[in-house]
Amino acid sequence: MQTLDIAEIFKSIQGESTWAGLPCTFVRLAGCNLRCAYCDTAYAYGPGTRMSIDEVVQQYTALGCSLVEITGGEPLLQDASPVLAERLLDTGCTVLIETNGTVPIEILPPTAIRIMDIKCPGSGMADRTRWENIAHLAPQDEVKFVIGGRDDFEWSRDVLRRYDLAKRCHAVLFSAVFGLLEPKMLAGWILDDGLAVRLQLQLHKYIWRPEKRGV
């Protein structure tokens, strides 16, 4: 029986990506191979609760939501993650998988939607990016840059152009580090440079307290 280390499972409003604003069930897996400077889910670093895939699917089903996100931590560190994604897809739901871009993404089912984070220098983890993943992005996938200042913005802009990311995937998301970079500043930079990206706000941090868990 395949099992996973689970940090939490809950239903909330999706706060990020092009799916923002929709009800979504989150399956947060425990464990991460990065320590980003702005991390807001450090509680997921630990071992979590061991659950079988059947138990996870049962909890998802009980919450009654047709959109589910597998996240972390870094979910792809756990060998059973692709199996969980496949099992959830078999129920007829839409499956989003948020990954930090340091682990091969081609192991995932082709009908899952991958939201891949490309770590900017301000995270302290930019050198861990697995650039080979870009070649495996599918038309339904999304790429996210979390930007803490002008240097991160210019770096992200250069990566966007170098890999022609706007044509490789469904959306490229530029997100301001909450509490560090004003969204209106980032909006201005995007407009000034005429970038084909989507400005992303973390809706859940505006609806609830930024530190609140389970939302």
Structure tokens at 177: 């580090």
Asked, for residue 214, whether it belongs to a domain, the answer is no
Portion of the chain with pLDDT greater than 90, in percent: 93
Give residue 140's pLDDT.
Answer: 98
Check: pTM over 0.85? Answer yes or no.
Answer: yes
Asked, for residue 99, whether it belongs to a domain, the answer is yes
Asked, for residue 215, whether it belongs to a domain, the answer is no
Asked, for residue 81, whether it belongs to a domain, the answer is yes
Asked, for residue 213, whether it belongs to a domain, the answer is no
Q: Mind listing the pLDDT tens digit for each residue in 48-65? A: 999 999 999 999 999 999
Place of tokens 């399956």: 27
Q: What CATH number should be reported for the domain holding residue 124?
A: 3.20.20.70
Asked, for residue 75, whether it belongs to a domain, the answer is yes
Range of the domain at 114: 3-207
Q: Mind listing the pLDDT tens digit for each residue in 7-23? A: 999 999 999 999 999 99
Give residue 211's pLDDT.
Answer: 79
| Domain count of the fold of the chain | 1
Q: CA 63, CA 23: separation in Å to the nearest integer?
A: 11
Displacement of CA 114 from its chain's centroid (Å) = 8
Instruction: Strand 198-200: give its sheet, edge to edge.
Output: 49-52, 3-13, 23-29, 67-71, 94-99, 113-117, 142-147, 171-176, 198-200
